[in-house]
Structure 1
Amino acid sequence: MAATRVIVAAGGAICHGSNPSSFLKRPFSIRQSALHLNLQRASSKRLFTCRALYKPQVQIKENGQSETLDYRLFFVDNSGKKVSPWHDIPLHLGDGIFNFIVEIPKETSAKMEVATDEPFTPIKQDTKKGKLRYYPYNINWNYGLLPQTWEDPSFANSDVDGALGDNDPVDVVEIGESQGRIGQILKVKPVAALAMIDEGELDWKIVAISLDDPRASLVNDVDDVEKHFPGTLTAIRDWFRDYKIPDGKPANKFGLGNKAANKDYALKVISETNESWAKLIKRSIPAGELSLV
């Protein structure tokens, strides 16, 4: 049975120079275009950004039963219109804070993901050969995506042996103590990055912490993770290295010396993949089967 519930509001944004009241009065399609196209660079980080100056409620609507092939979790605005969690939720909130959308809550194993090839990119359970996919064991952290990012499969990253992007939004591993919910939007700060290479494709894992976590103020860079969450970076790397082995596949590899890069490098990855997403949305790069709605 379909269900609708309200999740934490974090989705609204107004680009610099906009008038909040006039922006809110515009039709959604125009507001959406503003989010997509009125992108500005933020200081030396060169992040395309629309500042979140208001916080409308975002709702999620579940169609179908969970853990079935038909299940879809859609995002809708206050008027009930569908919006895309990938394209319509702003990325950057300022001061190094970003929106993160939970796809897979910690301590669960159903492989949920944004359907990048379906209109409004709902969250669904991944499939293989017509069957629902599960990890061989629970993931120990909240896992999901950074909206308005894209790993360009035509871009060869010279830092990681020329590996090409995996054609998906950038993944986030959120290390806080609380379990998220599918579709929940959390405000996070990135603190590290792992360059996973999955069957030859570059699949970044941004390590971040929710601002709601009690230790968030203590964790601001990669060294802080080891200090306040000892062993976590190694555990994340080993989990993603080994999770395909039970299915008979080889272990994944990692670039950058097999180590987690620091916060500045994570911000660089986010900036570059945000720029790639902007080119995708403006159709400067062919979308292929990806949905831009």
Structure 2
Amino acid sequence: MYYGAIEAGGTKFVCAVSRNGVDIEERTSIPTTTPEETLKHVFAFFDSYTLISMGIGSFGPIDVNKDSGTYGFITSTPKPGWGFFDFLGEIKSRYNVPTAWTTDVNASAYGEFRKGGGQKSGSCVYLTVGTGIGGGAVVDGKVLEGFGHPEMGHILVRRHPEDDYEGNCPYHADCLEGMAAGPAIEKRHGYKAGTLAGDEKVWGMEAYYIAQALVQYTLILRPEVFILGGGVMKQNQLFPLIRTEYQRLLNNYVETPAPETMITAPALGDDAAITGCLLLAEEAEVQLP
């Protein structure tokens, strides 16, 4: 008997199984193409196992409101073919087991909270900065959700004084994602982000936007730990810049843990989300009939 987990990303799906809800026994990576093609490979993987329960962390936006007629759907995503797709319904029609359903970044936050860099804290925020920007939070040991899930990448930010880039978000133009995600960096400067590693101005501007977001999350949620993942955050020179800018912007208004320990890279690396999905699957077995 196995716990199943799906980290459903816009580029790839990671599927895994575990006997104890922690240690991954087998996993596979599947390119995200059409729902029909992608799920064909997902089913081929899980059909080999007898499942106890499943945990799914999906790219979004998704509907997490259990009273909604579209609960379990991926909703207004711009990804072709996936808009208003009944993802959870398709999974449950194949595997009639208790299933946890949340965002991929909420799953990452939960994985880090339970088994990674947030283990010694009571609350944490996980922010991924890559092709897009998304965030999840764990407060009092529970994934933060309400009428919907957090959309931390689309908060509005102040424009850097030297930045005249219009922004890359199709919904809000110059929101956090529009100004600081990987494509925004590339379109603003005309080069792939990875080729700009030594450009202090590029990363100073990036730190300015990310630090603004962390200040806003601090003032609203007061988390003990910020865990910053995603492809852009593999530019390790960003961390000290963000910590310095965070302190400058917060200006000692409220007390926080030391930025050196508060603002960190994922301890679980690229396994944060799939770990969180397995942990949520284990809890789903207990909580759901």
TM class by shorter-chain length? 0.3 to 0.5
* Bigger relative contact order, structure 1 or 2 (CA pairs below 8 A, ≥6 apart): 2
Q: Considering fraction of residues, name the structure with more strand.
A: 1
TM-score with structure 1 setting the length: 0.36
Q: Considering fraction of residues, name the structure with more helix.
A: 2
